[in-house]
Amino acid sequence: AVEKTLSTGHENVLLLAEVHKRLAIYAEKKLLLLEDYCSSETFKVKKTAIKKWEEELRAIREERLQAVRQGKMVEQGKLLEEKRIQKEKMSEEKELVQYCNDRNMLILTALDAYLAALELDASAADIPYRILPFFVKAKYNENLLEPLKASCTLRNFPRNDLDSIVRLSIPRPSAFALLYQLSACDDRFSRSTASIADSVLLNEAENLRNVPIPAIEQPAIDIVFQLTDDSSQLITFINIEPVVTIADGITQPTIVTVIGSDGKVRKLIFKNEDLRQDSLVEQLFTVVNILLMNEDKTFPLRTYHVMPINSSAGIIEFCLGTVSLCNYICGADRKSGMHKKLYPLEMTAAAARFKLSEARTNQSNLVETYEEICKGIHPVFRHFFYDSFPDPLEWFSRIKDYTISLARWSIVGYIVGLGDRHLNNIMIEKETGRLLHIDLGMVFEFGKRNLLIPERVPFRLTREMIDPILIEGVNGKFKNVAVDTLDRLRKNSQVLIGLALVLLNDPLMKYLGGEKGSHSATLAICRLHDKLAGIENRIYMDPSQQVSHLIKEASNPENLARMFAGWMPFL
């Protein structure tokens, strides 16, 4: 029957792939229910009872053995009690064994169906990430995965370019080390800008001419035909500009301008930091995009590339065509920007930050101070859209895109526990009005659990963020998109929880201490599970109720007033 279906055309092949995928999703949902039962109090009581019965049986048998040694008769009541306990114990153990068998069967069913779907439709980008949680669940059970090893190895996925990418990267370590030295070892990089025209390192950069530019989107290579170490299809270095820029920050990131073999000018950010965790988190957001874009064809959340070089340095893609909300609203010095232009006599953001910080130090009423600051500072972010898109139709379209991106980033950020959302970490695209979040390393609610001043809001929904959409406010399109986004993520909860398990078990996740058995990692998974189950403050909510609750929490003055002053909750 399968061969007949395959021969009837491409549409039937895709239909069969969809059937396999739905079977896998069905098995996945059944597995989730089974695991929910496993974590229930009833199941825990059963396991505790079995241990208690084992102890009782051990004591009875020891007592019987002692009586035999002493030549005494064993009481009939003791024998009957032993049989009763043994019978109850075996009954409960049978249920536990059945649970393990059912769990293994569902894992195998889901895995095999997903692999069959992927073999039929290699373009199903979400399936590899759906498969991942099952390998995590079964990683300590070789017998469970043994039947799948051969099929996993022999199946042909024509879109898998991993081998080509690895082959191309093997001979390049010295070249990327040179890039790192170029950004870190020249004393002229200590100024805000520097000329490196006469640098020996820049002259040595000739060695980079055949090296693909890291941390950018490279064209895919067909693995079937790309069998040699040939980088001709990739974008490589042609030139490096002799002037670099030193950005703000503790580690003073260096921005280097490069020209690629495609003729385009790009910028790369070199940071003297461990970017391995950031790279892992970027993968999480890539998966979220795949899940959201399966049904919605509008636009994905914009992400960027991160390439760790070693444990102390790496390269980040510079997000061209964007400006940080901080620079636009109040300037890098917190005293300029659009606010200074429109309201030159009002309190500056720098002064407001100092006032809120001083109120905390003096143990003054933070809410009163926060509300007083808000009365003295007008929001100005709407003017970005007035000035950038003077045509009414284009303005309307860009406000719509902004609203969608704001809603999606808010919900996705809440689900993954993304913190540190100050205005320098939120960018806006100049041509589209869509948001872009950067510096995504602080995830899984690290900001709520570990910072000296804990974060109190699920996402940033301050006055400036909603200023462009005040015509309909947060209860119009913003809420509709947020509810839809949350609903999709909740339906794909197993994928997200599985990927989170992978990340949290990775030793590179330094914030949580990814070692096996980590208490923080366990709590992070439990909280993620609750979010995706719609549980807030021990109360179940449907997606609409959950979004309403989150909006209320994000805009509550009681929460905003107690945020770190540098987060600038008044903007």
Segment 352-404, tens digit of pLDDT: 999 999 999 888 899 999 999 999 999 999 999 999 999 999 999 999 999 99
**CA-to-CA distance for 95 and 66, rounded, in angstroms?**
33
* CA dihedral (466, 469, 474, 479) positive or negative: negative
What average pLDDT score do residues 216-235 get? 57
Q: Could you say which DSSP state residue 423 is in?
A: G
Q: Is 538 exposed, middle or buried (0-12, 13-18, 19+ CB in 10 A)?
A: exposed
Minimal CA–CA distance to 226: which of 180, 163, 183, 155? Answer: 163
The whole-angstrom distance between residue 311's C-alpha and the CA centroid of its chain comes to 21
| Window from 32-46, 384-398, 458-472 with minimum mean pLDDT | 32-46
DSSP string, 449-492: HTSSS----SS---HHHHGGGTTTGGGTHHHHHHHHHHHHHHHT
Q: How far is CA 388 from the centre of its chain?
A: 31
Q: Exposure of 84 by Cβ count < 10 A (0-12 exposed, 13-18 middle, 19+ buried)? A: exposed
The backbone region for 222, taken as left when phi is positive above 0, alpha when psi lies in -120 to 50, beta otherwise, is: beta
What does the angle CA 539 – CA 130 – CA 118 come to, to the nearest 5 degrees? Answer: 150
232-236, 401-405, 436-440, 522-526: range with highest mean pLDDT: 401-405
Residue 495: pLDDT above 70? yes
Q: How confident is the model at residue 35 (pLDDT cuts 50, 70, 90)?
A: confident
Cα 505 to Cα 46, 111, 125, 500, 513: the distances in Å are 29, 21, 24, 8, 8
The answer to whether the beta carbons of residues 249 and 192 sit under 8 Å apart is no
Q: Any idea what DSSP says for residue 74? A: P
pLDDT computed for residue 23 by the predictor = 87
pLDDT of 157: 42
Helix (H) or strand (E) holding 307: strand 306-310
For residues 341 and 338, what is the distance between their CA atoms, to the nearest angstrom? Answer: 5
What residues contact 215, with CB distance under 8 A and at least 6 apart? 268, 304, 305, 306, 307, 315, 316, 317
Coil, strand or helix at 540: strand
Nearest partner of 492 among 291, 294, 295, judged by Cα: 291
Q: Which among 121-130, 296-305, 372-381, 434-443 has the top mean pLDDT?
A: 372-381
C-alpha span between 201 and 182 (Å, rounded): 6
Give phi and psi for 427, each to the nearest 5.
Answer: -110, 160
The answer to whether residue 153 scores a pLDDT higher than 50 is no
Q: Is the separation of the CB atoms in 130 and 24 below 8 Å? A: yes
d(CA 99, CA 104): 9
Q: Which two tokens stand for residue 25?
A: 């999703």
Using the structure block, give the residue that is written with the tokens 């001083």: 358
pLDDT for residue 413 is more than 70? yes
pLDDT confidence bin for 514, thresholds 50/70/90: very low
pLDDT at 563: 94
- Specify the pLDDT at position 248: 66
- Highest-confidence range of 132-136, 283-287, 361-365, 460-464, by mean pLDDT? 460-464
Residues linked to residue 322 through DSSP beta bridges, in sequence order: 429
Per-residue pLDDT tens digits for 81-122: 777 777 777 777 777 778 778 877 888 888 888 888 877 876
Cα(172)–Cα(278) distance, integer angstroms: 22
491 Cβ partners below 8 Å, 6+ apart? none
Report, as an integer, the average pLDDT of 289-298.
77
First CA to last CA across the chain, in angstroms?
63
User: Between residues 80 and 324, which one has the greater pLDDT?
Assistant: 324
Q: Exposed e or buried b for every residue in 423-448, given b needs 16+ CB within 10 A?
A: bbbbbbbeebbbbbbbbbbbbbbbbe
Paired strand residues for 270: 254, 315
Res. 430 pLDDT band, cuts 50 70 90: very high
Query: Would you say residue 163 has pLDDT above 50?
Result: no
- Cα dist from 440 to 234, 315, 493, 550, whole Å: 27, 15, 21, 20
In the predicted structure, residue 164 carries a pLDDT above the cut 80: no
Neighbours of 61 (CB within 10 A): 12
pTM value is 0.71
Assess whether pLDDT exceeds 90 at residue 46: no
CATH of 323-567, one of 3.20.20.60, 3.40.640.10, 1.10.3720.10, 1.10.1070.11: 1.10.1070.11
Q: What angle do CA 209, 213, 216 make, to 5 degrees?
A: 160
- Measured from the Cβ of residue 116, the count of other Cβ atoms closer than 10 Å reads 20
Name the nearest CA neighbour of 270 among 218, 321, 313, 305. Answer: 313
Q: Which pLDDT does position 133 carry in this prediction? A: 67
- What's the chain's average pLDDT? 78
Three state DSSP letters for 156-225: CCCCCCHHHHHHHHCCCHHHHHHHHHHHHCCHHHHCCEEECCCCHHHHHHHHHCCCECCCCCCCCCCCCC
* Rounded average pLDDT over 418-426: 92
